[in-house]
Structure formats: C-alpha cells, structure tokens
Amino acid sequence: MTEKITVAGVRVDTRHWIGGERVASTETFTDVSPIDGSAIGEIARGGPAEAGRAVAAAKAAFPAWAATSRAERARILHGIADGVETRIEELAIVETTDNGALLRSHRRGVMPRVAHNFRFFADWLLKLEHEDFETRGHTNHVSWDPAGPSVLITPWNAPLMLATWKVAPALAAGNTVILKPAEWSPLTASLLADIAAEAGLPAGVLNIVQGYGSEIGDALTSHPDVRRISFTGSVPTAKRIAASAAANLTPLSLELGGKSPLLVFADADLDLAVDLAVEQYDNAGQVCLAATRFLVEESIAEELTRRFVDKAIRLRQGDPRDEATDIGPNIHPRQLEKIDGFVQRAIEAGARAVVGGHRKDGQFYAPTLLADVAQDSEIVQEEVFGPVLTLQTFATEEEAVRLANDTRFGLAATVATGDPERAERVTARLVAGTVWVNCFFVRDLQAPFGGSRHSGVGREGGTWSFDFYCDVKNTVTAPNGWKNHG
C-alpha cells in the first residue's frame, strides 16, 4: 500500500499509529471524498491483530503516563494545542475534502475548537480537586486515579473535533488511548498522531487504528485490558458495543443520536425563531443535536412557515470549499440513500414536502421540511441525520411538552419564547441532556454533556469527564493515627 497520500497539498500517512510508530496492514479500504466522489486514497484496514497490538502498546505505556505529574501532562496537552493551531489551514482543508463539511466552518470554528479541547482539559486538570471533609473527626480526601487504556470510537460528522473531545480529557486524566476514527473520515486523526508526537507525547500513550467497526471495533471493545470505552454514534452500534463490553464490565460513555424538538410559542421573536430553525440545516443536517422537529403554536404556524421557506430556499448548496456555500454534500452515497428513503416513505404515508423532498446532483439532498406528519410516524420518531425537518403544531403548552417528549430520544431541545416564566416551566419538564432557550448550539466544555433515554449513557465535560476516565477514590484517615511516626 502507499504509505502517504497528498490531500489538497497536505501529506497524510495512511497507516495506523501504534506504539509511537507507523504500522501498515495487509488489507486497505478506499477513502472517498463526498465533494465529487473521487477516491482520496487507500487506508490501512485493521483487524483483531492491530487491535491487540494497539491495546498492548497502550497497556505498556500506561504506568509511566499515569505517574507523570499533572503539570507535565498539561504542558504536553498545551503543546498539542499549539501544534493544532499552527496547522489549522492544513487540518481544515483535509477534513473538508474527507467529510464535505464547510471549509469556512473548519477554519473559523471547528479546528480552533480542537485546540481549545486540549487547552481546556489541560487547565481543568490543574484545578481538579474536591475539598477535604470530616466524618466524626476522620478526614476524607477525594482523588482521581487514572483508569487505564481507553478505547475511543468517534463519528464522521465532525471527525477531529469530536475525537479530541474524548482524547483530550482521557490523556489529561492519565489514561492511554486507542482511537478508532470513523472509516468514512479517517484522515485528520492521522494528522493528530503527527502533531501529538511532535509535542512530545510518549510512544504508546496515543494509538490510532483505522478500519471497519465489525473488523477492528469488536476486538477493541471486548478486550480484557481495556478500562474505559467512549463511543459517539448510532443506537444500534452502541448496543453492540455495550454487549461486547459487558463480559469485562468495562465502563461505557455513550453519546448517541437525537430527535430533538424546537418549540416555538406565539410570544417568541419570530425572526429569531426562523433563524434558529434554518440553522438546523448546518453541516447538511448531520448534527446529532439538531432540532429536527419543529413544534409551533397553531396561531403563528402559517406565518412562521412562510418566513422559514423564504429563508431556506435562499441557502446555497455546493462545493464546501467555496466561501459562499451554506450547505455541503452528505457524507456518503449510503447515507444519501438512507435520507431519501426516510423522506420518500414519509411522503408515501401522507406527508407534504413544504420545501425540498428530493435528491440533487452528486451527494446533495435538498433542504427539506415535511408537514402533515403523524406523531407516531417513522419520520417523527427516528433520526434521519440529514437536512430533513418536520413541522407539527400545538394548541397548548401542555401539548407542546407532550409532543416534545414523545420519542425514545432525549439529547437536546430548543425553546423559543418571550416569556421567562414559560421558559422555566417548559424547560423543567423537557427530557433532554441540554436545553437551549432562544439560542442554539452554545456549548461550554465545563458544562455536562450527554443524552437521556436512547440518546446516551453518562455525562462528559469539566469534572464529569474526569469522573468517567478515572477511578474516583476516597481516602479516609483516622485522627491521631501518627503516634509512632518519627
């Protein structure tokens, strides 16, 4: 296999990164750009052998990394952030080529956020503490002990940002890592290996293996030497991972899909509500947090729909490398087929396409809004993960909350209202890990993040991340226990 390929002028190694060195596989898979369907290159396709080698490398490196001082770990993480910042343009163009997301977003938001992920957890590590407390004169001291090798399995919709969202806290906690990026967008993970090595991260502390989940993922999640598993992706895959991890009782963090609502009340700022609604087409609808179900109070539904359509039809779809483009392609022909299947089945069942409802040339799907949908229909209940939204109306606050909570998911929710008392009442009753009021996608790494119901297990962010990646210990010391000392 070719060991390195050139992507938009950037050299990318196509091999795994295990134990501080590049490792080839006898098999490969083809990485394809969603922009034009062209083959980018052949990528090392790992299996059980590579999985075992990566876990062994992580296990061997763990004792020294766990014993490394907090200050030194933080220094290296800041060094990785420095490396990311010097290569933002390269990372941005490679990821846009690989997954089709907007280049302007990668340059201005996504890749700077990658660097921030490392800086935030490096800094949080240095202030991580719990105040000692007493129990009948005994002193309780809480500490966070590194857990061990951690398997991180990450998605394709924001590959590097979501990978480092896990990698950074795991490394800060003192764990060693085996990262398995999505096979549809593996390239920036390979560049991360180079950046981490240049920053002085010891060999074996970060390992990156590529391939299909059914071939290498199962070998990783069932390995008895793995101490933590964190996964972002679909519910069916999460169930397989959980079953695989069960034999070893390996702790899991699962951030899964969503079918989030956007509740718009008649007292809302309609211009703001329309902006929030159209924003759900970001990244071609490939955002787990997207509020894909519009729940609109009956009295304003017609006006809101008119304003929404006027704005939605002006969105520009095209080459994500063009600064003027608003929506790029969907990631893969298989994903496009899945999106269209959802839409066509909904239309056959009686839904009406207010806008869109069809494929376009290449791997593009027209921004779509479907009305006349039943609450128990597939299109309302299941995650599409594309630029497809549904519209339903409600008459009362009670009905709005009931519709919002009536799916198996609970990742996020957005509320548009001009009444702070209503906002307080409604948000208290919504089943969701994150609720936004008159805003969307405002994320702070010190806040807990995760989903309820089938949207996930656990919370990450701030101290919650360290609680997951560490074994949290309480040491209780008796008073006057040092009589024989010295």
pLDDT at 480: 80
Residue 13 pairs with which residues in a beta bridge?
Answer: 4
Q: How confident is the model at residue 392 (pLDDT cuts 50, 70, 90)?
A: very high
The closest alpha carbon to 384, from 399, 400, 365, 371, belongs to 365
Please say if the pLDDT value at position 486 is more than 60: no
* Dihedral sign (CA 163, 165, 169, 172): positive
Burial state string for 191-218 with b = 16 or more CB within 10 A and e = fewer than 16 = bbbbbbbebebeebbbbbbbbbbebbbb
pLDDT at 231: 97
**Long-range pairs, 307-311, Cβ under 8 A, ≥24:** 307/270, 307/271, 307/274, 308/274, 308/277, 308/278, 308/369, 309/354, 309/355, 309/369, 311/274, 311/275, 311/278
- Tell me the Ramachandran region of residue 458: left when phi exceeds 0, alpha when psi lies from -120 to 50, beta otherwise: left
- Tell me the Ramachandran region of residue 293: left when phi exceeds 0, alpha when psi lies from -120 to 50, beta otherwise: beta
pLDDT at 1: 64
**SS3 per residue for 310-321:** HHHCCCCECCCC
Q: How confident is the model at residue 482 (pLDDT cuts 50, 70, 90)?
A: confident
What average pLDDT does this structure show over 134-160?
97
What average pLDDT does this structure show over 4-31?
97
Q: How confident is the model at residue 436 (pLDDT cuts 50, 70, 90)?
A: very high
Please say if the pLDDT value at position 260 is more than 70: yes
Q: Read out DSSP for 323-377?
A: TT-SB---S-HHHHHHHHHHHHHHHHTT-EEEE--SB-STT-B--EEEES--TTS
Do the beta carbons of residue 342 and residue 377 sit within 8 Å? Answer: no
**How confident is the model over 103-116, as pLDDT tens digits?**
999 999 999 999 99
**Quick one: what percent of the chain has pLDDT higher than 70?**
99
Q: Integer distance in angstroms from the first to the last C-alpha of the chain?
A: 65
pLDDT at 484: 66
Query: How far apart, in Å, are the Cα atoms of 310 and each of 80, 127, 274, 297, 360?
Result: 44, 49, 10, 19, 20
DSSP state letter for 217:
I
Residue 148 has which token pair? 């061990």
What average pLDDT does this structure show over 444-455?
96
| Distance, CA of 235 to CA of 463 (rounded, Å) | 26
- Tell me the Ramachandran region of residue 350: left when phi exceeds 0, alpha when psi lies from -120 to 50, beta otherwise: left
**How confident is the model over 403-433, as pLDDT tens digits?**
999 999 999 999 999 999 999 999 999 999 9
Name the 3-class secondary structure at 50: helix
Helix, strand, coil share (%) of the chain residues, nearest 5: 40, 20, 35
**Structural domains of the chain, ranges and CATH numbers in brackets:** 4-256+451-474 (3.40.605.10), 261-437 (3.40.309.10)
Q: How confident is the model at residue 485 (pLDDT cuts 50, 70, 90)?
A: low
Q: Which residues, in sequence order, are CB contacts of 348 under 8 Å at separation 6+? A: none
| Distance, CA of 158 to CA of 54 (rounded, Å) | 24
Mean pLDDT score of the chain = 96
| Distance, CA of 98 to CA of 90 (rounded, Å) | 12
Residues classed as catalytic: 255
The closest alpha carbon to 334, from 308, 359, 363, belongs to 363
Q: Give the global pTM.
A: 0.96
pLDDT at 180: 98
